[in-house]
């Protein structure tokens, strides 16, 4: 595939970098990335991956855009309030870069559909806002051996980690079980600084691009914690656990389970 | 440095282009060459006559020739040393 003149201009700042070049840009155009959630994290992740020319971006979310989303979910707008978030995101990304094929799925991810949905993608990004989904996505990615970039945000703090099944830790090596329902406040209850998902989503998108390009280090066996009030980044080591219930030597979780048990039903 | 005997394996004419598209075209042309082959670049943007050789060296390639061939044009010869 040769670049069009338009693509030479669009991607010129990538092509001139030694770590990217024309070859790297072609890898980006051929890549398929799936984003779980079209909310605070999904918006900036999708925005930057589309701008970078990631050729196929899948996204799943069952919610519609609400006015209260617009404080941080930058791909939506007043004109898409009431419409499915995935359609709103798809329209925004299509306007930014027509090279990108956005696959919009307005549905819930479940233990029954996730393996089939993720199987055609190279890399998965988790921008979900609840624990059942976070563990469902982790376990599915471990079983499918798909790299997973996991991000989380609350108030002034955010986290990012990169899970490479078979090579490094997984989310259950870090936190074996979801916390009991109600123990950890959701961002609906506790709030989140509007810009925070931009920082964390930007870091997640950066991890994705490095994985596609095969350049640099990623947050394998590490959790990066950002505190906006203290302006601090901290890296915590997260070893892969031999006794991890899903990615360990003798896993006890060998098929997807009911992740919603005990949690309130999704809206 | 000037070696009139070198015969380039590929040639691109990027007259009329300005930075950074001069280097975009030059870099894509170098990427398509095999290691050891020589690329000839004809250009008329003065700044690129300096920036392309510098960037090529930064990327690990060897600049064999930078020659002002007439009032407006330069001719560069770059040997590809690495992918």
Determine the 3-state secondary structure of B22 from DSSP.
helix
Among the partner residues A12, A22, A23, nearest to B21 by beta-carbon distance:
A12
pLDDT at A70 over 90: yes
Residues on B contacting A at a C-beta cutoff of 8 Å: 20-21, 23-25, 27-28, 31, 55, 58-60
Task: Evaluate whether A134 touches A208 at the Cβ level (below 8 Å).
Answer: no
Q: What is the pLDDT of residue A157?
A: 96
pLDDT at A235 over 80: yes
- Mean pLDDT over A180-189 rounds to 74
- Mean pLDDT over A96-124 rounds to 97
Q: What is the pLDDT of residues A21-67, one digit of tens each?
A: 999 999 999 999 999 999 999 999 999 999 999 999 999 999 999 99
Q: What is the pLDDT of residues A162-182, one digit of tens each?
A: 999 999 999 999 999 888 877
- Mean pLDDT over A218-223 rounds to 98
Query: How many angstroms separate the Cα of A24 from the Cα of each of A15, A37, A107, A211, A252?
Result: 8, 27, 33, 11, 39
Q: What is the pLDDT of residues B40-71, one digit of tens each?
A: 999 999 999 999 999 999 999 999 999 999 99
Nearest C-alpha in A relative to B55: A16
pLDDT at A267 over 50: no
In order of start, what are the domains of chain B with their CATH numbers?
10-79 (3.30.110.40)
Nearest C-alpha in A relative to B17: A9
Question: What is the dihedral sign for C-alpha A251, A257, A260, A266?
Answer: positive
Q: What is the 3-state secondary structure (H, E, C) of chain A?
A: CCCCHHHHHHCHHHHCCCCCHHHHHHHHHHCEEEEECCCCCHHHHHHHHHHHCCCEEEEECCCECCHHHCCCCCCCCHHHCCCEHHHHHHHHHHHHCCCCEEEEECCCCCCCCHHHHHCCCCEEEECCCCHHHHHHHHHHHHHHCCCEEEEEEEECEEEEEEECCCCCCCHHHHCCCCCCCCCCCCHHHHCECCCHHHHHHHHHHHHHHHHHHCCCCCCCCEEEEEECCCCEEEEEECCCCCCCCCCCCCCCCCCCCCCCCCCCCCC
Average pLDDT, chain B: 94
Q: For the domain bounded by A9-237, which CATH number is listed?
A: 3.40.50.720
Among the partner residues B24, B58, B60, nearest to A15 by beta-carbon distance:
B24
ipTM for this model? 0.86
Q: What is the 3-state secondary structure (H, E, C) of A173-209?
A: HHCCCCCCCCCCCCHHHHCECCCHHHHHHHHHHHHHH
Distance from CA of A2 to the nearest CA of B (A): 10
Distance from CA of B68 to the nearest CA of A (A): 24
Q: What is the pLDDT of residues A248-258, one digit of tens each?
A: 999 999 999 98
Domain regions of chain A by residue span: 9-237
Strand order in the sheet with A123-126: A101-105, A56-60, A32-36, A123-126, A148-154, A157-163, A222-227, A232-237
């Amino acid at each position: 595939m040769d670049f069009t003149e338009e693509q030479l201009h669009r991607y010129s700042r990538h092509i001139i970098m030694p770590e990217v070049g024309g070859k790297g840009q072609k890898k980006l155009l051929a890549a398929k990335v799936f984003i779980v959630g079209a909310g605070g994290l999904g918006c900036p992740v999708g925005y930057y991956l589309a701008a970078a020319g990631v050729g196929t971006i899948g996204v799943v979310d069952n919610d519609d855009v609400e006015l209260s989303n617009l404080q941080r979910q930058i791909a939506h707008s007043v004109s898409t309030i009431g419409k499915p978030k995935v359609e709103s995101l798809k329209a925004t990304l299509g306007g930014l870069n027509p090279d990108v094929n956005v696959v919009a799925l307005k549905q819930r991810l479940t233990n029954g559909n996730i393996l089939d949905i993720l199987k055609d993608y190279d890399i998965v990004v988790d921008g979900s806002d609840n624990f059942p989904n976070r563990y469902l996505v982790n376990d599915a990615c471990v079983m499918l051996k798909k790299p997973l970039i996991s991000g989380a945000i609350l108030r002034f703090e955010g986290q990012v980690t990169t899970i490479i099944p078979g090579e490094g830790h997984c989310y259950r090596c870090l936190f074996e079980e979801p916390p009991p329902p109600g123990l950890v406040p959701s961002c609906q209850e506790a709030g989140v600084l509007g810009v925070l998902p931009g920082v964390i989503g930007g870091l997640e998108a950066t991890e994705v691009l490095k994985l596609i390009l095969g350049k640099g280090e990623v947050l394998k066996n590490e959790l990066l914690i950002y505190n906006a009030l203290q302006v601090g980044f901290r890296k915590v080591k997260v070893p892969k656990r031999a006794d991890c219930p899903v990615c360990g030597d003798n896993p006890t979780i060998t098929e997807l389970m009911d992740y919603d048990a005990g949690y309130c039903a999704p809206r | 440095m000037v070696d009139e005997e070198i015969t380039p394996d590929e040639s691109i004419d990027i007259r009329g282009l300005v930075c950074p598209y001069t280097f975009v075209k030059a870099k894509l042309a170098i990427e398509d060459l095999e290691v050891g082959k020589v690329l000839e670049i004809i250009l008329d943007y003065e700044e690129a006559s300096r920036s392309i050789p510098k960037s090529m060296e930064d990327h690990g390639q060897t600049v064999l020739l930078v020659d002002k061939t007439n009032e407006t044009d330069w001719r560069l010869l770059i040997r590809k040393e690495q992918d």
